[in-house]
């Protein structure tokens, strides 16, 4: 009997959207085999449930949730050096990571057919200050926006990309640049930055194509650093980032490498796949983890 497919559900993802889609996700997977349904209550659950699926040699681990759920499940598979492929049934807010995978993650029946074909491939992941991530991590502006969103009263009225965009627009005129030196950029000298993002995937924030040159299987991290800019220039950069046309602007510096070291004046806060962290020291290392994660693929 073929190994079962493990369907990992975060019922809170997408403001409860995932909970409403459990039945359709389960039905889609049942067309191709036996399914074991498990629900998470916390990010720690998602990591442990992914480990359990790997050790059970599941046919695939299918995450019904958003970028946070995918990231925490992926950490479990990465830590196990698992051969179990990851698949995503998108039901979160931004669903940024799946945009870089070229898979029908929003069409559950189509995604089930991809899983049924049995093809998979290895893609890269990365880690920042020892924290694994699969999509984008960084410092500065996006950290402030993420922090504000979590404490904002607007979250009762706005959701997802709309909430991120409104909060980001407000912070464009308030955020104070931070100073840091980044290996491979500007000869390593300390400089003011608005945002420094390290990308494995291309998208973040629900709508921003922050790293249009990034690929999840090139073995590299793509650093996109935006330096000092006037309020008007910030608005222009914000608009261009929606289309992925910001890289040619004079305030933007881009580099690709296997590893970066960033030195700050004080211990910084950073985000990894949208999760906030406080760095262990003033010096932070970000490195690529080539071929660290197996995902389902078309062929």
Q: Give the residue among 149, 30, 154, 9 at the shortest CA–CA distance from 73.
A: 9
pLDDT at residue 160, as a whole number: 61
- Domains recognised in the chain with CATH numbers: 5-118 (3.40.50.10330), 132-292 (2.60.200.40)
Extended strands (E) in 174-267: 178-182, 191-199, 221-227, 252-257, 259-264
Arithmetic mean of pLDDT over the chain: 92
The residue written with tokens 């994660």 in the block is: 293
Residue 89 has which token pair? 């049934």
CA Rg, the chain, in Å? 19
Q: How far apart are CA 262 and CA 185, in angstroms?
A: 10
pLDDT at residue 157, as a whole number: 55
| pLDDT tens per residue, range 118-175 | 999 999 999 999 999 999 999 999 999 888 877 655 545 555 667 777 777 788 888 9
**89 — pLDDT class (breaks 50, 70, 90):** very high
| pLDDT tens per residue, range 20-60 | 999 999 999 999 999 999 999 887 899 999 999 999 999 99
Angle between helices 108-117 and 22-30 (to 10 degrees): 30
Q: What is the DSSP string of 141-197?
A: HHHHHHHHHHH-GGGGT--HHHHHHHHHHHHHTTPPPEEEEETTSGGG--EEEEEEE
Mean pLDDT to the nearest integer, 262-272: 97
Q: How far apart are CA 165 and CA 172, in angstroms?
A: 10
Residues 6+ apart with CB under 8 A from 187: none
Mean pLDDT to the nearest integer, 214-223: 98
Q: Give the residue among 202, 172, 186, 163 at the shortest CA–CA distance from 262.
A: 186
Q: How far apart are CA 256 and CA 214, in angstroms?
A: 9
């Amino acid at each position: 009997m073929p190994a079962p497919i493990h369907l990992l559900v975060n019922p809170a993802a997408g403001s409860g959207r995932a909970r409403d889609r459990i039945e359709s996700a389960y039905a889609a997977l049942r067309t191709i085999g036996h399914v074991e349904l498990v629900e998470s209550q916390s990010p720690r659950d998602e990591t442990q449930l992914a480990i359990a699926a790997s050790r059970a040699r599941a046919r695939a681990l299918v995450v019904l949730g958003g970028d946070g759920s995918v990231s925490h499940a992926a950490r479990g598979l990465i830590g196990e050096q698992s051969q179990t492929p990851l698949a995503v049934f998108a039901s979160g807010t931004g669903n940024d990571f799946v945009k870089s995978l070229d898979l029908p993650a929003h069409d559950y029946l189509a995604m089930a057919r991809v899983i049924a074909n049995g093809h998979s491939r290895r893609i890269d992941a990365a880690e920042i200050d020892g924290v694994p991530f699969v999509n984008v991590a960084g410092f500065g502006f996006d950290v402030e926006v993420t922090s504000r969103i979590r404490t904002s009263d607007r979250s009762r009225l706005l959701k997802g990309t709309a909430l991120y965009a409104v909060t980001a627009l407000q912070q464009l005129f308030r955020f104070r640049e931070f100073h840091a030196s980044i290996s491979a950029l500007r000869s390593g000298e300390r400089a003011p930055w608005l945002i420094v993002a390290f990308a494995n995937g291309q998208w973040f924030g629900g709508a921003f194509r922050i790293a249009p040159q990034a690929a999840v299987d090139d073995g590299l991290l793509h650093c996109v650093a935006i330096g000092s800019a006037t309020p008007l220039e910030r608005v222009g950069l914000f608009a261009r980032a929606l289309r992925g046309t910001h890289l040619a602007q004079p305030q933007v510096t881009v580099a690709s490498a296997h590893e970066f070291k960033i030195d700050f004046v004080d211990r910084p806060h950073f985000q990894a796949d949208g999760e906030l962290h406080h760095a262990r020291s003033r010096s932070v290392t970000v490195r690529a983890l080539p071929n660290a994660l197996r995902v389902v693929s078309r062929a």
